[in-house]
Structure 1
Amino acid sequence: MRVYRITKARYAGQLTASGGAARWNSRGQYVIYTAATRALACLENVVHLSGEGLEADFKVMLIDIPDALFVEKIAIDQLPDEWFTFQNYNTCQQIGDDWLQKNRSAVLQVPSAIIPGEWNYLLNPLHPEFGRIQLIGSEPFVFDPRIKK
């Protein structure tokens, strides 16, 4: 399976996590966020950057997750109503932190909070099978100027 991550060019050469807090992890929990498509990866950046800084030098990372690798999945029906709101960040972070701490898989499929029916894939760099996930390349990525308006 191919997944995508759009990041500033200086970070596009390797699969690393910052440990910063996000929807599916609390601060100090290292997770690499990827998306099922380039388009979803783009929207994730636009939403989280609020249109600021989109003129920087970005790249889209092309990441291969072997089909034989187990992917744990979080289904919508496993989540509380309104899970996608900011008020429920804590609930989602607890789910992600539990996944990381129990080290159940190298990949966790989670629903997109931006587009219903779309999926993001979290990568656990501390899982023993993480080494099977490969960064196969990166390509220049420019946000369409109309997005910034």
Structure 2
Amino acid sequence: MIVYRITKAVYASQLVASGGAARWNGRGQFVIYTAATRALACLENVVHRSGEGLHDVFRVMVIDVPDELTIETIAVSDLPADWSDFRQYDACQRMGADWLRSGRTAVLQVPSAIIPHESNYLLHPGHPAFSRIRLLHTEPFLFDPRIKAGPDV
């Protein structure tokens, strides 16, 4: 399976996690967020980079997750009804933390909070099988100037 991550070019040469808190992990929990498509990776950036803007130099990371790796899945039906609301980060972070601590798999499929029926894939750099996940290459990425992020839209 191929997954995608759009990041600032300076961070695009290797698969590393910042440890910053996000929907599925708390601060200090190292997770690499990827998306099933380039388009979803783009939208994730638009939503989460509103304060930073979209004018830096970005790259698409094209990542291979071997088909034989087990992928754990959190389905929408496993989540509270309002799980996509930012006030539900605690519930999602608890589920992500449980997955990280358990070491059950190197990959966790989670629903996109932006596009229904789409998925993001979290990669666990501390898992033994993570070494089988490969950054295939990177591609230049420019956000279309018509895309506006932030409250000044």
Q: CA RMSD in A?
A: 0.9
State yes or no: 1:81 paired with 2:81: yes
**TM value normalised by structure 1:** 0.98
Report SS of the residue matched to 1:45.
helix
CA, structure 1 residues 135+31, in 2 after alignment: closer, same or farther (shift >3 Å)? same
Query: In 2, are the aligned partners of 1:111 and 1:118 still within 8 Å (CA)?
Result: yes
Percent of matched pairs sharing the same residue: 68
- Structure 2 matches for 1:1-149, cutoff 5 A? 1-50=1-50, 52-148=52-148
Report SS of the residue matched to 1:147.
coil
CA, structure 1 residues 2+135, in 2 after alignment: closer, same or farther (shift >3 Å)? same
* Length, aligned pairs only: 149
Shift of 1:50: 1.6
After TM superposition, what 4+ stretches of structure 1 lie above 3 angstroms from structure 2? none
Deviations 1:81-139 (Å, cap 9, x if unpaired)?
10000110000000000100111100000000000000000000000000000000000
Distance (whole Å) between structure 1 residues aligned to residue 108 and residue 9 of structure 2: 25
Structure 1 stretches lacking a partner, 5+ long? none
Distance (whole Å) between structure 1 residues aligned to residue 52 and residue 134 of structure 2: 30
Shift of 1:53: 2.2
Report SS of the residue matched to 2:138.
strand
Distance (whole Å) between structure 2 residues aligned to residue 54 and residue 78 of structure 1: 33
**TM value normalised by structure 2:** 0.96
Structure 2 stretches lacking a partner, 5+ long? none
Distance (whole Å) between structure 2 residues aligned to residue 53 and residue 13 of structure 1: 21
Query: In 2, are the aligned partners of 1:51 and 1:147 still within 8 Å (CA)?
Result: no
Distance (whole Å) between structure 1 residues aligned to residue 81 and residue 114 of structure 2: 15
